[in-house]
Amino acid sequence: MTLAQAPEDGPVHVRRKRYAGKNPRAFHDKYKELNPQRYAADVEKVLASGKTPAGMHRPIMVPEILECLRPGPGDVVVDCTLGGGGHARALLERVQPGGRVLGLDVDPIELPRTEARLRSAGFGPDVFTARHTNFAGVARAMAAEGLAAADVMLADLGVSSMQLDNPDRGFNYKEPGPLDMRMNPSRGEPASKLLERVSQSELVRMLTENADEPHADLIARLLKHRPIDTTHLLERIVRTGLTKAMPNIPKAEAKMSVRRTLQALRIAVNDEFAVLEALLRSLPACLAPGGRVAILTFHSGEDRRVKKAFQAGQRDGLYADVARFVVRPSMEETRANRRASSAKLRWAVKTTSGVVSR
């Protein structure tokens, strides 16, 4: 029995779904973590343990980003990857009075939720605008908002916790879910269809280029053996296949290969490297003279592209200064938020005169 009917004129009470054990394990059963406003104390316990509550957005390296970007009152800011809005909120607070933030995000599920959160925090349309678009189209989005140039630009290339944790999105194998991985579920093909379409040699290239996977040849053979439509099935095929082929492989290494496989597929499904390169080409024209940009990356393929683009821009006289060394999160942050551990931050400053001073 799932419904308890109150008197005829009263509301219908729907009982919460029961789960096994003391604490819920499935994402959709974690009703306290998914409702932090009501269960703040319980959520704080999860945070204190160094874990991210289910579906909660935790912005990474906020102090370091603010230090690199130096936003001030009146600045025009473009947050190319709005996500859960944590970075955007910090920037909004710094650019008042007189400043504004344009937030872009390709995810049609999370974008309206984030916009609603920032609106409820007091940031009206006069200071904050959200647009549903891929950040490769940042120049078009700025033109549509009447923005000639930005004083500050930010791109956080990480997958948000809202996407990672929800099994319906298919980004991880913690719970059974469709092998989808699309940032925008209404466009393109899911990872399951991509696996069916590409050849084995293409899959090897994908695993190598997108994730530096050392066992790319073997994993490609395993994945092309049969149709794969769930994250659990992919995890099992890769893990057991590696173990059978290499009985002495450490469990941790097999697990990392599963993660790298998912990363490679996600990058391919969303064409992430092409989108990033389009953004990097657009940045100099989108920045005001002396404008500053910062980009958070989470694996070597992203960081390598950002580093080379910034260095090339400096050589060509587009940037007056670029980060000499990558900025990493503090030990305190990585202890408090394990998902920050792989983050790398790079920044660049556009020239004011078009000529780099020597």
pLDDT per residue as tens, the chain (358 positions) = 444 444 455 555 556 566 565 565 555 454 454 555 555 565 556 556 656 655 566 899 999 999 999 999 999 999 999 999 999 999 999 999 999 999 999 999 889 999 999 999 999 999 999 999 999 999 999 999 999 999 999 999 988 777 777 877 878 888 889 999 998 998 999 999 999 999 999 999 999 999 999 999 999 999 998 899 999 999 999 999 999 999 999 999 999 999 999 999 999 999 999 999 999 999 999 999 999 999 999 999 999 999 999 999 999 999 999 999 999 999 999 988 888 899 999 999 999 974 444 3
| Beta partners for residue 178, in sequence order | 230
Helix axes 231-245, 251-269, angle to 10 degrees: 130
The first and second tokens of residue 269, run together, are 């499904």
Domains of the chain with CATH codes: 62-161+273-350 (3.40.50.150), 184-269 (1.10.150)
Give the burial class of 31: count Cβ atoms within 10 A of its Cβ; 0-12 exposed, 13-18 middle, 19 or more buried. middle
| Cα–Cα distance measured from residue 93 to residue 52, given in angstroms and rounded to the nearest whole number | 24
CB atoms inside a 10 Å sphere around CB 273: 15
Strand bridging mode 319-322 / 344-350: antiparallel
Nearest to 171 by CA among 196, 156, 186, 190: 190
| Cα–Cα distance measured from residue 28 to residue 166, given in angstroms and rounded to the nearest whole number | 8
Model pLDDT, residue 253: 96
| Cα–Cα distance measured from residue 289 to residue 65, given in angstroms and rounded to the nearest whole number | 19
| Cα–Cα distance measured from residue 142 to residue 151, given in angstroms and rounded to the nearest whole number | 12
Strand bridging mode 100-105 / 76-79: parallel
| Beta partners for residue 130, in sequence order | 103
| Cα–Cα distance measured from residue 92 to residue 129, given in angstroms and rounded to the nearest whole number | 11
Helix (H, G, I), strand (E, B) or coil at 188: coil
Nearest to 356 by CA among 278, 273, 289, 256: 289
Residue 309, sorted as left (phi over 0), alpha (psi -120 to 50) or beta, turns out to be: alpha
Helix (H, G, I), strand (E, B) or coil at 297: strand
Model pLDDT, residue 20: 60
For 202, residues 6+ apart whose C-beta sits below 8 A from its C-beta are none
Strand bridging mode 76-79 / 12-14: unpaired
| Cα–Cα distance measured from residue 137 to residue 134, given in angstroms and rounded to the nearest whole number | 6
| Cα–Cα distance measured from residue 33 to residue 173, given in angstroms and rounded to the nearest whole number | 20
- Amino acid residing at 50: G
Phi/psi of residue 349, each to 5°? Answer: -125, 125
Nearest to 285 by CA among 140, 155, 70: 140
| Cα–Cα distance measured from residue 190 to residue 195, given in angstroms and rounded to the nearest whole number | 9
The first and second tokens of residue 199, run together, are 């050849």
pTM of the model: 0.83
Contact present, 171 and 162 (Cβ < 8 Å): no
